[in-house]
Structure 1
Amino acid sequence: MALEEGPARVILGGMHISAKADYATRALVELACDTERPLTCEAMASSQEIPFRFLKSVVGDLRRAGLVRSQRGCEGGYWLGRPASDITLLDVVRAVDGELITLRGEPLSGLAYPGPADALPEIWREVEERAGEVLAGTTVESLVRRSRRPAARLAAEAV
């Protein structure tokens, strides 16, 4: 299975992870690594090489979901809205994308096929369930701990 990266998504076969989910997760990891001060969108975008305007929109989604909180003013920026150990990748995907997996833009919940393909929607829902289990079992803190950057690992150990 080939892995392709592009500005809009990471593609594994025919499935993809949205750029919003990818960028949101990367921003949360940045915030988890620097808990001493709020970080600006500019700093996170620069550090992660993410388009600033897109990240600003994504961080707005994270704020509305309670995953980050903001501080205004010249010393302003963003903090994690709750501990990194309490933020799962499933939380992130749901915050920025809504449904985990869709088919032609529609949720899988009401999907039904006639005739001999009637079992297929059950398989698509099982794929969604298993992907959800992996994402629910992965926290922002665990990503920081798995980082190959020593500074990130040290930040996680200090928590």
Structure 2
Amino acid sequence: MSRVGKNPVPIPAGVTIELKGQHLKAKGKRGELQLTVHDDVSVAKEGEALVFKPRTESRRARMQWGTARNLASNVVRGVSEGFTINLEINGVGYRAQADAKMLKLQLGYSHDVEVPIPAGIQIKAPKPTEVEISGADRQKVGQLAANIRSLRPPEPYKGKGIKYADEKIRRKEGKKK
């Protein structure tokens, strides 16, 4: 039994769900997202919740059961609340500046690094050392945050680089005399 899959996905007020076979379409205040549920899993709308069940008792169907439920939960939460990831920039002279289409980063290279902002995602830089990425699609928000972090990952000696706001960097001791 999937502990995750047997929990129904509650549909909050203001979110409309359309089910056509294995296609799930959700509309809310943050936008519209689609999901195609795996063929081994059946999805049904019961009241104000989505219920998932495996079609067979095969191992693959049971694996897809919890996955499909979580993906649908992310779609519903994305169109109602959205997802946000905060990044921190540490280092002398390291800073970020965001406008409508580009995120400009100064990361100690000989040139500024420019990251284009994809459609459906908003990036804010409330301070020069903080970046806030938000959007409805959890996968896109997380992938963009990982791509920005990979431009200058934090190093263990001085802690310089880009890190997630809730990430702890294990520091190492430097050289001894």
Normalization by structure 1: what TM-score? 0.25
* Greater relative contact order (Cα < 8 A, sep 6+): 1
Between structures 1 and 2, the one with greater helix share? 1
Larger radius of gyration: 2
Q: Which structure has the highest strand share of the two?
A: 2
